[in-house]
């Protein structure tokens, strides 16, 4: 039998030691600009991006699930690769950058997007709230 406390600890992610916070190991501040983007903002950004992709796919490409995913992927690769954030990230006050602070670039954005589209890498994350997709691409989502 699964204990609700076990499920709750799994959903809330890796536990941090007292005084620790996401991004500390990466040299980021606890809160404010430059801090790791938290789950709520990230989910909001994803929902905005997905809704925009759905609207574009429905209006111009027939609206199948595959075309929605393709529009989402193109948006992520181009916008994250070139300006550091998709529409949803921008509206949620987030940006994606490499760990050294430099721009992501198209190749890393493509790798990150491919893994993001597989879903599982995005929901498996470390104490710094970096999913497998961010770790593989050497990126982190931070607040603007």
DSSP state letter for 126? -
Q: At 90, is the pLDDT very low, low, confident or very high (cuts 50, 70, 90)?
A: very high
Strand positions, DSSP E, the chain = 94-98, 139-143
Contact 89, 141 (CB under 8 A): yes
Tell me what pLDDT residue 13 has.
55
Q: For 92-133, how does the pLDDT look when each residue is reduced to its tens digit (9 = 90+)?
A: 999 999 999 999 999 999 999 999 999 887 888 888 999 999
At 19, the pLDDT band (50, 70, 90 cuts) reads: confident
Placement of tokens 């006050």 in the chain:
93
CA atoms within 13 A of residue 83's CA, in its CB half-sphere = 12
């Amino acid at each position: 039998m699964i204990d609700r406390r076990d499920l709750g600890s799994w959903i809330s992610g890796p536990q941090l030691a007292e005084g620790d916070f996401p991004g500390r190991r990466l040299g980021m501040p606890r809160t404010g600009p430059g801090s790791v983007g938290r789950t709520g903002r990230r989910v909001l950004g994803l929902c905005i991006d997905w809704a925009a992709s759905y609207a574009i796919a429905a209006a111009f490409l027939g609206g199948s699930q595959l075309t929605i995913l393709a529009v989402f992927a193109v948006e992520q690769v181009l916008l994250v690769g070139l300006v550091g954030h998709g529409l949803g990230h921008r509206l949620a006050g987030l940006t994606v950058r490499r760990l050294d602070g430099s721009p992501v670039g198209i190749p890393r954005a493509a790798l990150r997007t491919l893994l993001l589209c597989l879903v599982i890498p995005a929901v498996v994350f470390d104490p710094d709230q970096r999913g497998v997709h961010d770790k593989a691409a050497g990126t982190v989502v931070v607040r603007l």
